[in-house]
Amino acid sequence: MAPQGERMKRSTERHAPVLFQEAIDLLRVRAGSTIVDCTLGLAGHSAGIARLLGPQGHLIGFDRDPEALALAKEKLDGVCGELGERAPKVTLIGEAFSSITRHLPPGSVDGLLADFGVSSLQLNEAERGFSFMADGPLDMRMDTRSGPTAAQVVNEASERELADLIYEYGEEGGSRRIARAIVRGRPVTTTGQLARIVAPAARPMKQGHIHPATKTFQALRIYVNRELDEIRALLEAAPKLLKPSARLVVISFHSLEDRIAKDSLREGARQGIWEILTKKPVTAGEEEIERNPRSRSAKLRAAERQ
């Protein structure tokens, strides 16, 4: 197995930010502005933003994954080194983006970006336990320093609790059969073991190339990381943080995320808080999908603070 540093470097090189130009354009990044990247990841979007901010600008990035934050810092240090005197101020915060109001005062932000997808670093590293493509410990935590692992959830939850969370967060119609199979197969310690247990019990996916355990893995990841609660907290805080005419851009990757974003923006528009800039979500074109298949499910929504 390659050393961790080498594996992380390869993940960074493979990383392709989704809907990059569309996000940058809709954020309307201007020299001297303050832009927040709530989901820094491997700094794919932020590297482009930094080049536009100028020396009076300020880039603020959040990520609760310590490995991703270290790689993002390395990448942004390189970008700022290239820019020299034209580099913006960069502040990186190693916390979940739901903590944003503890770090930023009201009305201080010109643009806010959130890409809710799991980064290539997390998906490609078997040790993180996010994917069944390579066998690894069943972890799934974005912040490996705290919180229960997916293995703890799978092995300690009741059959009914498992069925409910798989149905709610995975939108999996076969959740009860899957939960029953998991309980019979316990203890479950690796991603490969879980995938082998789930596959025969799950309903076949309409798209034949999608693994039948996909929805169960999604459900566990969302549950372990409290992802939907994090998104709700961010969307509630965003109007307070943004200046008038400032922009919010969010990128989601499955229906639960997108539904929360859509409903939040529509309600905000009804209250006169937002002007919605994307009547329909922006999606990736054929060229991007061919280059980066993960972009196929991405939906971008944007709004301007009134």
Are the CB atoms for 261 and 252 separated by under 8 Å? yes
SS3 call for 113:
strand
Are 179 and 295 members of one domain?
no
Beta strands 242-252 and 109-115 are parallel
Domain stop point among 183, 203, 225: 225
Q: What is the pLDDT of residue 131?
A: 78
Are the CB atoms for 55 and 33 separated by under 8 Å? no
Are 144 and 83 members of one domain?
no
Ranges in the chain, pLDDT < 50: 1-4, 7-8, 10-13
Domain stop point among 225, 258, 279: 225
| Domain range enclosing 27 | 4-121+227-305
Strands (E), the chain: 34-37, 58-62, 89-93, 109-115, 242-252, 274-276, 299-305
CA terminus-to-terminus distance, the chain: 52
Are 294 and 203 members of one domain?
no
pTM of the predicted structure, to 2 decimals? 0.90
Q: What is the pLDDT of residue 4?
A: 45
Are 180 and 43 members of one domain?
no
SS3 call for 252:
strand
Q: What is the pLDDT of residue 14?
A: 53
Are the CB atoms for 162 and 186 separated by under 8 Å? no
Q: What is the pLDDT of residue 118?
A: 77
Are 164 and 107 members of one domain?
no
How many domains, in total, are found in the chain? 2
Are 205 and 267 members of one domain?
no
Walk across the sheet containing 242-252 and list its strands: 89-93, 58-62, 34-37, 109-115, 242-252, 299-305, 274-276
Beta bridge partners of 37: 61, 113
C-beta atoms surrounding 86 within 10 Å: 14
Beta bridge partners of 251: 115, 300
Q: What is the pLDDT of residue 166?
A: 98
Are 186 and 240 members of one domain?
no
Q: What is the pLDDT of residue 126?
A: 62
Are 33 and 84 members of one domain?
yes
Are 14 and 111 members of one domain?
yes
Are 143 and 214 members of one domain?
yes
Q: What is the pLDDT of residue 2?
A: 44
Are 244 and 97 members of one domain?
yes
CATH number at residue 163: 1.10.150.170
Q: What is the DSSP string of 199-220?
A: HHHSPPPSSTTS-TTHHHHHHH
CATH number at residue 47: 3.40.50.150
CA 235, CA 114: separation in Å to the nearest integer? 10
CA 163, CA 170: separation in Å to the nearest integer? 10
Are 168 and 85 members of one domain?
no
Quote the DSSP letter at residue 119.
P
CA 301, CA 41: separation in Å to the nearest integer? 19
Q: What is the pLDDT of residue 134?
A: 78
Domain stop point among 190, 225, 260: 225
CA 265, CA 282: separation in Å to the nearest integer? 15
Q: What is the pLDDT of residue 124?
A: 66
Q: What is the pLDDT of residue 11?
A: 46
SS3 call for 247:
strand
